[in-house]
Amino acid sequence: MEERKKDVIRETDAEAIALARSLLRTARHGALAVIEPETGSPLASRVGTATDVDGTPLILISGLSAHTKGIVANPVCSLLVGEIGKGDPLAYPRITLFCRAVRLERGTPEQARAERRYLNRNPKAKLYVGLGDFAIFRLELERANLNGGFGKAYLLSRDDLLLPSPAVEAIANAEQSALDHMNADHREAIAIYASHFGKLADKAWVLSGFDPEGMDLASGDETGRVLFPEMLAEAADLRRSLVEMAKEGRAAKS
């Protein structure tokens, strides 16, 4: 049995890590699995998702829901993300994240940042984020199972999924002002990032997040992801990369 398991699981490589991070960053919802405290039975429910700057999943859930009661009683949980399209749903990649939920208390810097990023990804949540029974939880990653399609199974560690960059906090502090500026004054550059670097469809894309590895985009309910040419090391690298990418994209079109 152990030998058969080794045959099924592929060696985790850079391609698998890139796919796993992309699935996590582009997800707007997922299936959260918790243990029902009254019965000890597994309970799965759909939740909205976002990520913190380092890649940690974020969820906003009501204290009245069964899944919230589950993770309050036992914070061990898992989250399945991965979009499907036409045809066989099992042919599309998905990832199961094994996590431990941590509630973020209102009034703390951690909660304010998580709420900001969650609303940038899920703007419709502004209707209920301020209600007293709602709270944001960080799903602290422990490990993950990636299914990249038929015969493509991988085991990933926490370090495979989260960004180790020293720029995480610096980017987080500069992020919102940069997003506001780009979305207000540089929509043409955003279109270049989406089309030239992200190979995304021609839509009215806006930027919804920055991190040391790349940028998140949204157009209505659709999401996209564009990687920077290299990992950012400090906040000043963000502006430099955006300027250089816009120049490169314009040159390619001329």
pLDDT by residue for the chain (254 residues), tens only, comes to: 455 455 689 999 999 999 999 999 999 999 999 999 999 999 999 999 999 999 999 999 999 999 999 999 999 999 999 988 888 888 889 999 999 999 999 999 999 999 999 999 999 999 999 888 999 999 999 999 999 887 789 999 999 999 988 899 999 999 999 999 999 999 999 999 999 999 999 999 999 999 999 999 999 989 999 999 999 999 999 999 999 999 999 999 87
Supply the pLDDT for residue 47: 97
| pTM recorded for the entire structure | 0.92
Amino acid identity of residue 241, one-letter, is S
Total number of residues shown for the chain: 254
Instruction: Give the whole-angstrom CA distance, residue 254 versus residue 252.
Output: 6
Amino acid identity of residue 239, one-letter, is R
Domains of the chain, CATH where assigned: 2-161 (2.30.110.10), 168-253 (3.20.180.10)
Closest CA to 76 of 45, 99, 49, 50: 99
Supply the pLDDT for residue 87: 85
Helix 168-185 and helix 109-121, axial crossing angle in degrees, nearest 10: 40
